[in-house]
Amino acid sequence: MRFDILTLFPGLFRGVFEESIVRRAIDAGLVTIAIHNIRDYAPGKHRITDDAPYGGGGGMVMKVEPIAYALEAILGEDLPLRQKRTGLVEVPIVLLTPAGRLFSQAMAREFERYGRLVLICGRYEGVDERVSQLFATHEVSIGDYVLSGGEIAAMAIVEAVTRLVPGVLGDMRAIVEDSHSADLLEHPHYTRPPEFRGAKVPEVLLSGDHAEIARWRRREALRRTLERRPDLLEKASLSDQDRLWVEALRRGETPSQEGE
Ligand code: SAM
């Protein structure tokens, strides 16, 4: 998987990709991350990357030319235009913006399948609309709030996509069970000690009965999702047994171990 990140602040990425899972994925040759300073592509002696908005108003707007030249240097002149012309995406060009589609696990899976992703980080009041018009294949927001720049959003996307690259996680079960993977929140986790300040680990997890543990985890995932994100249950694919448990939970009953 290759990520190309366009930013005015390359230094912000120092450190964040130098530890833990992303670092291991880079070291293992599974992931490449190239950080491109948009300023390097700005024409003129002063390498200006922003300007005042047409129509007036406060703040500055990132100019289209440096971003266009950066994209063309990274992807070739033809590819960005071809993608827009044909609608066939070969390399997603993602413009980070609070006005974009909300990033999700499904989107992370979609991006991973392309094998390459370009992320454009905005700053100031945002980016000249022609970047979206001429180049961006996706406009993505990481949440309904406003950050000062797209860098943290790019980091979040890189991390979420990297986890999905085959071979990056030692245990691929984590990907299947993670919250949002199947439109359910994940069950709770416990580790030693079995009791801390009176709070005990549920008995079933100590039982060694793997079938029963799996059933308990599924029920807890359904319970959490119902309590915290009932909207997700609408689109989750549920078995008949799941539905029985959900109905029981909705009635305020604690489903029996058998769940019937
Ligand atoms: N004036 C813009 C608006 O209201 O939509 C906000 C600009 S914001 C201060 C500067 C940059 O931060 C944006 O261009 C974008 O790249 C990034 N950004 C801010 N919030 C974001 C979010 N929730 N998701 C993704 N990127 C975000």
Per-residue pLDDT, 256: 61
Closest residue by CA, ligand 1 atom 8? 148
For the record, the structure tokens of 39 come out as 């300023």
pLDDT in tens, 103-158: 999 999 999 999 999 999 999 999 999 999 999 999 999 999 999 999 999 999 99
Confidence of residue 180 (pLDDT cuts 50, 70, 90): confident
**96 CA from centroid of ligand 1 (Å):** 7
CA distances from 35 to 6, 140, 193 (A): 6, 19, 43
pLDDT in tens, 6-65: 999 999 999 999 999 999 999 999 999 999 999 999 999 999 999 999 999 989 999 999
pLDDT at 76 over 80: yes
Ligand 1: which atom is nearest the Cα of residue 145? 23
Q: Name which of 72-81, 136-145, 165-174, 207-216 the model is least confident about.
A: 165-174
Of the residues 90, 110, 178, 220, only one is catalytic, namely: 178
Confidence of residue 217 (pLDDT cuts 50, 70, 90): very high
Q: Name which of 66-80, 88-102, 111-125, 241-255 the model is least confident about.
A: 241-255
Single-letter amino acid code for the residue at 151: E
Buried b (16+ CB within 10 A) or exposed e, 213-238: bebbbbbbbbbbbbeebeebbeebee
CA-closest candidate to residue 71, choices 116, 22, 30: 116
pLDDT top residue among 170 and 174 = 170
CA distances from 36 to 12, 32, 73, 157 (A): 12, 13, 10, 17
Domains, the chain, ranges and CATH? 2-162 (3.40.1280.10), 179-250 (1.10.1270.20)
Of the residues 92, 139, 151, 163, only one is catalytic, namely: 163
Is 98 one of the annotated active-site residues of the chain?
yes
- Report the distance separating Cα 60 and Cα 53, nearest Å: 6
**Cβ neighbours for 112, distance < 8 A, ≥ 6 positions apart:** 1, 161, 164, 165
- Report the distance separating Cα 248 and Cα 236, nearest Å: 17
121 with 7: CB under 8 angstroms? Answer: yes
**Cβ neighbours for 114, distance < 8 A, ≥ 6 positions apart:** 89, 90, 91, 92
